[in-house]
Structure 1
Amino acid sequence: MDVLRGRRREREALDRLLAAARAGKSQVLVLRGDPGVGKSALLDYVAGRAPGFRVARTAGVPAETELEFSGLHQLCAPMLDRLECLPDPQRDALCTAFGLQKGEAPSRFLVGLAVLGLVSAVAEEQPLLWVVDDAQWLDKASAQTLTFVARRLGTEPVGLVFASRKHEKDEATGLPELVVTGLAHDDARALLGQVLLGPVDERVVDRIVAETRGNPRALLELREELTPAEMTGGFGLPGRTTVPRQAGESLQRHLESLPGDTRRLLLIAAAEPLGDPVLVWRAAHRHGIGIGAAAPAAGLVEIGAQVRFRNPTMRSTILRAASVEEQRSAHRALAEAIDPEADPHHRAWHRAQAAQGFDESIAADLERSAERAQERGGPSAAAVFLEQAAHLTVDPARRAERVLAAAHAMHEAGSPDAAMELLSTAAAGPLDPLQHARVDQLCAELAFAMNRGSDAAPLLLKAAKQLEPLDLRLARETYLDALAAAMHAGHLACGADVREVAEAARAVPAAPQPPRATDLLLDGLAARFTDGYTVGTPLLRQALSAFLSPTPPDEDGFRWLWHAHRTAGDLGDDAAWDLLATRHVRFARDAGALGRLPTALNERINAHVLMGDLTAAESLLEELRAATAATGEPSWPHSAVMLAAWRGCEDHLVKLIAGSGSEVRRRGEGIGLTIVGWAQAVLYNGLGRYEDALAPATQACDALPQEMSMLARATLTELIEAATHSGETELASTAFERLSLLARANDTDWALGLEARSRAVLSDGQAAEDAYREAIDRLGRTRLRGELARAHLLYGEWLRRERRRLDAREQLRTAHEMFSAMRMEAFSQRAAGELQASGETARRRCTETTKELTAREAQIVRLVREGLTNPEIGVRLFISPRTVEWHLSRLFSKLDITSRNQI
């Protein structure tokens, strides 16, 4: 029987994948289709067509979805002899994930990079083919890691083929796909004709083909469903519009014909998700089952170095065929066979499956195991154990507490949908007042995490007020959440703006002494938005000092590190702003916090941009895209917009805004629109198109509260420059008054330097010259190289208008050299034009080589200059060392060099 009848398109695609992998170019393909459509047969085909490849296979099954890294372990187990080739952090992360050693919860990034390095090392010896069936049932950690690797393979002789359900949105979403459909009508008829005996009514065949949509498995099962009368007399399938029988019924009948001990052995093997043969036999012996029971199961399961069923559906079919009590008995035997000291959480899981009704002992066991599960698989693993514990808990209050804990763990894991589902269970109650408030609080947090729009602040404010008399610490944290949400909503706030939230927070009782960094932050922000910037600044400086402590922050401190970074910017402390941005990214990477890393990278990129290191910003932008792709969550590219603006790339900026701006407005994220206006003003001021800069700068300033100081300083500075050059002196003067108030409250070189530069733009004669010199002096003491270069440019332009050409050339030459070095093309060209008008031609930079480099090659050049090795570069860029080596070989050719030392 040819189960691949008519699969020409699929075969050709798989053949191309193998050919490309043999040639050293990795290929990935996801086969998507309905159950039984033939995906597994296609996987068999590609595995059979891969002579010379090292082939590894795994399959997801529902029983394993709760055990972290179980699917990945099946693929990697034969390769663990190459662990020594990995860097120590990666090796430790992988060993911890696989339970080979104890340790902190491994970073998903480090596990992914470890697998990437392992694949690269193995593929050096021979081409590698990984085949993954039923990917929709892989445990989440394995699925994320495999797709992480799939997206980052470059010049490796590796092929990855996944098979997944057609309508499932899983971790493989976004990879190259091939939809596998049912057989064409003639092929389906031919397949059915091969397995049917005797005469067949053509009408029945046509109806079968139509109702099964050519699904091969359904066709093969239907041949046993229909009676001879139905097949020959045309009675068909009355009242049926879908596949008339669930898959696996023929296997169930086969199971019934097997000896009792063999059926029990198969059930124990099916119930053990990790496929440990030693454990299976140990549990079987507890049932009095001997080795001879395996013989009749030959062809169904292989119990060798690993327990392996003939196909992915067999395990679930065996479990379905057993009664509930038989399944519990199998899990009970497995639990008893596990050493409680060596593997307590595995034992707890089997005990839970064996439980009948409520059982507080097992629930407590699961709750204790959640901590160990988090060490191995992160918060999502802990959530699974906590959820199971809740199901076994008889006391309603304790059950709600465990469900809430599971929901919080899912939220931390970056799975808001799963967290919301758990919260709906918790909300069914009964709940005490504190638990009810915590449900509302977490619902509001999730709304902010998923949308970051105008709907989150009112929800968070309501939850904070509920919590105030019940849990002051949690209430204060929720007020801080509400303030953040309201600041994000900005002028698009609906139901609770920043001032309303701040007034409510200001009225909350004081924090216990000594206050935490987050308490100081809340008090400072509340004071700033109610009593003014001057009143809030001292408290915010205390909070900033607490966050700047060399002692790593606790969990709460890490959670609010991004807010501390923004506070440093508002206060004009560029050193703290830089330090906290760096620390935030480092902590997010070390913790493997995928949900927090994009925010940290956005802030770090913005810092690099304003500090003039656009190359570093571009490098992190690639990492931001990789982190976003790893989570599968879309993000609004604030940092990409600012990078394009300072780079002077009008076309790119317009595309970014067109692609995401409407979505930001729909969500009600006012701060996003403010950043768009700021970016447009920077771009058009850089291009010397001041009238084009005037409108977006005006809109950004009008929509922004004065208390959001950093953004206010930035947009007001752009507005003053655009308005002055456009002849709108009154508008510029009004904006300067606002800017001056902010600068005097900050009293930092950053704030006062921008204020002096703007004052100079509005002044004449000696006052203007003194202000320009003050701006250059103050900004020269900061890390803001872009703003300093602009001060030189504006001073040079003023000097040229004053007909002081020699003095002008000195300033313009400095500005041009700085802008050129920072690759700020628009400002560089503006400075070059001014130099030419002063009678001097700007020296041309040798940019031909730079223009030839791709963005990835430019990143690698920068990291080589930092002294990083190929494996270290691979870790930073989420690519394999072999791919780094390939890029370097191209770089050597482009740059006409022979070693990395010359870079």
Structure 2
Amino acid sequence: MVDRRRRSAGHGDAQKVVLLGRDTERAVLDRMLAAVAAGESRVLVVHGAPGVGKSALLRYAESSAVNMRVLSAVGVESEMELAYATLHQLCAPLLIRLDQLPGPQRAALETVFGMRAGPPPERFLVGLAVLTLLSDASEQNPLLCMIDDAQWVDQASLQVLGFVARRLLAESVAVVFGVRERSQELFGLSELKITGLRDTDAHTLLDSVTHGRLDRQVRDRIVTETKGNPLALLELPRGLTVTQMAGGFGLLRADTLPGRIEQSFLTRIGALPEPARLLLLIAAAEPVGDPVLVWSAASRLGLTPRETLVEGMQEWLSLDARVTFRHPLVRSAVYRSASRDNRRAVHLALAEVTDPQADPDRRAWHRASAAASPDESVAAELERSADRAQARGGMAAAAAFLQRCVALTEDSSRRAERAVAAAEATLQAGDLDVARRFAEVADRAAQNEWQRVRTHLVRSRITFAAGLNQEAPPLLLTAARQLEPFDMDLARETHLVAWGAAALLAVHSDSLRAISTAARELPARAGTPHALDVVLEGCALLVTEGRAAAAPVLQRALAALTDLPASEMLNWGWVANGVSAAVWDDGAMRVLVGRVVEHVRAVGALTELPFCLTSLGIAIAWTGDFTAAALIVAEIEDVCAATGVPIAPHVELRMSALRGRVAESEALIAATTEEAGRSGQLMGVTVAQWAAAVLYNGLGRYEQAMSAAQVCTGMPEPWVSVWALPELIEAAVRGGYGDVARAALRDLAEVTEPSGTDWALGVLARSRALVSDDAAENLYREAIERLGRTELRPELARAHLLYGEWLRRDRRRGEAREQLRTAYEMFGSIGMEAFAERARGELVATGERIGNRSIETSSGEELTAQERQIALLVRDGLTNPEIGTRLFLSPRTVEWHLRKIFAKLSITSRRQLRDVLPLSEAASTSE
């Protein structure tokens, strides 16, 4: 890590870097630094090919950062498997400020940096802690944070840094990434693409390093072939004689450009004495850049400064407060070109001088890299490192340790066990191809039936993770049956995962029924049933016996899950998430799903995360909190991009339908229906048609709504097909299809009455009111009362709307206006545009004049969605840090928004927000 403070240009190491050309790029960086000096935040992703000048531009930014504190970190290829390694590099100079962080944030950073023991913290909490840390530090001096070679930053660090970069706004902080190619974590951030120099600048640079006159055609060829890459222009001529340069014969190699640059480095490094080259190798293999470790390892190998720090070494390596290479390609060139024996000797020396207490994982990695043959002591050490990595939330790191552990294991039986563990960890980390390879290793090394069964299980889970397909449920069911003689707990867990896979696919009822029947045939557990047992029993009964028989069991399962640690549900928690939905318990749904998501996020189980996030997004969308649901959608997209396995956009479909945005919704519905139908993922078709039913009911296009809802209710799955019944009833009644509505109402009563929750009975009362004559008013009032006790604001608003519509048709205009006005205001505050327009039309029909439902501002400028959300939270009494925690913003950014809110509303205090915000909107933030 590097921490430098800039006081004024031209002092010491702050002397400004001079670059040839790059006027446009330097101007971008200058504007960025000026904005940060003025109190704003900026983020920039500088990307381009190796050697094109990214690092030089970052050095230019550093040298131009007058009166700023500079923090820097460099991604190191050999560190990519160590979770949070780069983040620790960057934040290390600020850790003296940890005591100033809120308790949960401090604990999160201390845990991931190995400063304290504890369960893995949620990734978002780590990001919020870093955001707060940078924000607090920037109050003393503006910060410039530079992360070079971001393509080699470990995944956990890159996710957190991407999270922080997207939430910087009013802090005096600049974050600059240097990267060869942008990763998914950096998409959407401001970028600066670096290409080669212009021809005139490229010729000037080439002339500066060539001796003698070059043929014009040769000079042009060099510039063209290097595409103006500055490092190539500087390095390639150095490996060629004047004759080769003049005749162009040295340019006939077919290597790739980075390979040519590396070869140029190696040709010149090869002229150094052997001790000097060995010191370069030590520095390349030691990723922290600690000069004490480098010199200690050198001493172990019998090297002295006198024989290593020869003339010319300063061209390649800086050995000051931190060991740094002149260019990242030097490090990779030195390491890759070294002999195996030298690499092993260097790693062994580094392992011997690395503190086993302070840094056991890096020591284990060095020992593993030094091993020339299987070594059980090193393999066991790697296993322990994998356990520690998993506890810190580094699933990818755990997988890497276990993969290396397998290579160092000689005993076949133990090798099979470790290969299965490596395959499982790699699967959780989202690298399915590598997981398959280790499953094959486990299969070849298996010594007994138990090991073969476990291998079949992990292969089945890989098949399921590779994309919902019809092969997964029967494979998982076979694995579950094979497991029964060996491990009944694992067998029950696998039966439940098979059930969940079949329910998600919704291909046909036979598959789900076969799995449910097999689950019910399992022998009962001796003693008190585990939560898993009750969940599996309830899910199976749901299919074989129906909702009435399953409801009491599912309610017991829900109670058991409430007390079960989320860590025990890693592999099957996404299925258990459906229990609360099946019994219509919205509060338990949000709590249970939230707990499972927190744990799955924390351990980095990327294959499970999209399913859990989808459940959470749907649960949140039911409440009408579209801002929070949109964050979930963004996270799902990030995870799917990382694993390369797409998932149907269920949350987006639900939100777009509720919002009532026709063009956006219809395009998404059509695309999802086509893709899901083609791949056999009929759950995607079901959700898409549910979304269509909601959309068209909001628009008053009841024939289309009824058609879509009928598709849903015909699907053999236990959740969405049921949620579509109220849509079918409303559409059928409004379309004049009373028989269809009454039949759907009977089905709805069958699935809601056994649950007995306010959500279930509220929706049932609202639906009964639609087909009722004499009892309609009491049923509408019951629906409003019951749904009013839930957090399901869209459902409550729809109850007010239907009641108002009924009152208007009963010619009770005054009472109708009251209900319709309530519905209109609620729909507006939630963002349900189509339903709001439907309510507005009904209000106009009663003679009501409709004004602007937005918050009025004296400036005429409306509050943005985020400003409105912050204003409402402030109005409800939350402090800036509390709001920041909820919205994943720094307190300083919250304050910046608040100043804009005050200006727009022409007020001067938080207390005045109570007078200017509509009560209906203020109430929308309560929990």
Q: Same fold (TM over 0.5)?
A: yes
Q: In the alignment, is the contact (CA less than 8 A) between 2:361 and 2:385 conserved in 1?
A: yes
Note if 1:145 corresponds to 2:165: no
Pairing partner for 1:154 from 128, 150, 169: 169
Pairing partner for 2:50 from 35, 59, 67: 35
Distance 1:336 1:175 in 2: 42
The sequence identity of aligned pairs, in percent, is 49
Match of 1:557 in 2: 569
Pairing partner for 2:713 from 701, 713, 736: 701
The CA deviation at 1:556 is: 3.0
Match of 1:175 in 2: 189
Distance 2:424 2:546 in 1: 35
Pairing partner for 2:580 from 564, 568, 593: 568
Q: How does 1:422-437 map to 2 (within 5 A)?
A: 422-423=438-439, 425-426=441-442, 429=445, 432-437=448-453
Q: How does 1:610-629 map to 2 (within 5 A)?
A: 610=622, 613-614=623-624, 616-622=625-631, 624-625=633-634, 628-629=637-638
Match of 2:331 in 1: 315
Pairing partner for 1:529 from 516, 526, 543: 543
Match of 1:760 in 2: 769
Pairing partner for 2:892 from 873, 878, 882: 882
Match of 1:682 in 2: 694
Q: How does 1:175-214 map to 2 (within 5 A)?
A: 175-185=189-199, 187-214=201-228
Pairing partner for 2:724 from 715, 727, 752: 715
Match of 2:738 in 1: 729
How many equivalent residue pairs? 890
Distance 1:290 1:851 in 2: 70
The CA deviation at 1:357 is: 0.7
Q: In the alignment, is the contact (CA less than 8 A) between 1:434 and 1:471 conserved in 2?
A: no
Distance 1:423 1:236 in 2: 47
Q: In the alignment, is the contact (CA less than 8 A) between 1:58 and 1:71 conserved in 2?
A: yes
For the structure 1 residues 630 and 873, does the alpha-carbon distance in structure 2 shift closer, same or farther, using more than 3 Å as the test? farther
Distance 1:619 1:357 in 2: 51
Distance 1:712 1:336 in 2: 62
Q: In the alignment, is the contact (CA less than 8 A) between 1:106 and 1:378 conserved in 2?
A: no
Give CA deviations for 1:704-725 in whole Å, capped at 9, x if unaligned. 23x61x5334312211221122
Q: How does 1:21-60 map to 2 (within 5 A)?
A: 21-60=36-75
For the structure 1 residues 25 and 456, does the alpha-carbon distance in structure 2 shift closer, same or farther, using more than 3 Å as the test? farther
Q: How does 1:470-549 map to 2 (within 5 A)?
A: 470-491=486-507, 497-511=511-525, 513-548=527-562
Q: In the alignment, is the contact (CA less than 8 A) between 1:189 and 1:205 conserved in 2?
A: yes
Note if 1:372 corresponds to 2:388: yes
Distance 1:106 1:40 in 2: 33
The CA deviation at 1:392 is: 0.5
Between 676-685 and 348-357, report the one with greater CA deviation: 676-685
Distance 2:588 2:248 in 1: 81
AA in 1 matched with 2:491: A
Task: Note the aligned Cα RMSD (angstroms).
Answer: 3.7
Q: Structure 1, unaligned stretches of length 5 or more?
A: none
Note if 1:240 corresponds to 2:248: no
Match of 1:70 in 2: 85
For the structure 1 residues 104 and 730, does the alpha-carbon distance in structure 2 shift closer, same or farther, using more than 3 Å as the test? closer
Distance 2:155 2:783 in 1: 54
Distance 2:269 2:240 in 1: 21
- Matched residue of 1:72: which SS? helix
AA in 1 matched with 2:72: R
The CA deviation at 1:891 is: 1.2
- Matched residue of 2:178: which SS? strand
Q: In the alignment, is the contact (CA less than 8 A) between 1:410 and 1:418 conserved in 2?
A: yes
Note if 1:14 corresponds to 2:41: no
Note if 1:82 corresponds to 2:97: yes
Distance 2:636 2:132 in 1: 18
Pairing partner for 2:750 from 730, 741, 744: 741
AA in 1 matched with 2:516: A
Pairing partner for 1:271 from 277, 282, 285: 285
The CA deviation at 1:393 is: 0.6
Distance 1:672 1:95 in 2: 41
Q: In the alignment, is the contact (CA less than 8 A) between 1:262 and 1:294 conserved in 2?
A: yes
The CA deviation at 1:883 is: 1.5
Distance 1:637 1:540 in 2: 27
Give CA deviations for 1:605-656 in whole Å, capped at 9, x if unaligned. 544554xx43x44344335535754775576543343344344444553455
Note if 1:438 corresponds to 2:450: no
Note if 1:897 corresponds to 2:900: no
Pairing partner for 1:692 from 704, 713, 734: 704
Q: In the alignment, is the contact (CA less than 8 A) between 1:211 and 1:242 conserved in 2?
A: no
Match of 2:923 in 1: none
Q: In the alignment, is the contact (CA less than 8 A) between 1:199 and 1:232 conserved in 2?
A: yes
For the structure 1 residues 315 and 83, does the alpha-carbon distance in structure 2 shift closer, same or farther, using more than 3 Å as the test? same
For the structure 1 residues 91 and 750, does the alpha-carbon distance in structure 2 shift closer, same or farther, using more than 3 Å as the test? closer
Distance 1:774 1:823 in 2: 25
Match of 2:4 in 1: none
For the structure 1 residues 309 and 590, does the alpha-carbon distance in structure 2 shift closer, same or farther, using more than 3 Å as the test? closer
Match of 1:97 in 2: 112
For the structure 1 residues 516 and 256, does the alpha-carbon distance in structure 2 shift closer, same or farther, using more than 3 Å as the test? same
Match of 2:344 in 1: 328
Note if 1:858 corresponds to 2:868: yes
Q: In the alignment, is the contact (CA less than 8 A) between 1:813 and 1:842 conserved in 2?
A: no
Match of 2:683 in 1: 671
Q: In the alignment, is the contact (CA less than 8 A) between 2:76 and 2:153 conserved in 1?
A: yes
AA in 2 matched with 1:871: P
Distance 2:531 2:330 in 1: 55
Give CA deviations for 1:323-352 in whole Å, capped at 9, x if unaligned. 322222222222222343443323222211
For the structure 1 residues 453 and 890, does the alpha-carbon distance in structure 2 shift closer, same or farther, using more than 3 Å as the test? farther
For the structure 1 residues 52 and 63, does the alpha-carbon distance in structure 2 shift closer, same or farther, using more than 3 Å as the test? same
- Matched residue of 1:723: which SS? helix
Distance 2:532 2:872 in 1: 37
Pairing partner for 1:121 from 123, 126, 136: 136
AA in 2 matched with 1:874: G
For the structure 1 residues 454 and 889, does the alpha-carbon distance in structure 2 shift closer, same or farther, using more than 3 Å as the test? farther
The CA deviation at 1:573 is: 3.5
Give CA deviations for 1:20-56 in whole Å, capped at 9, x if unaligned. 3334333323233322233223333333333333233
Q: In the alignment, is the contact (CA less than 8 A) between 1:28 and 1:175 conserved in 2?
A: yes
Note if 1:301 corresponds to 2:317: yes
Distance 2:471 2:188 in 1: 29
Q: In the alignment, is the contact (CA less than 8 A) between 2:428 and 2:606 conserved in 1?
A: no
Between 777-786 and 75-84, report the one with greater CA deviation: 777-786
For the structure 1 residues 847 and 539, does the alpha-carbon distance in structure 2 shift closer, same or farther, using more than 3 Å as the test? same
The CA deviation at 1:445 is: 3.0
Note if 1:872 corresponds to 2:882: yes
Distance 1:226 1:783 in 2: 74
For the structure 1 residues 729 and 39, does the alpha-carbon distance in structure 2 shift closer, same or farther, using more than 3 Å as the test? same
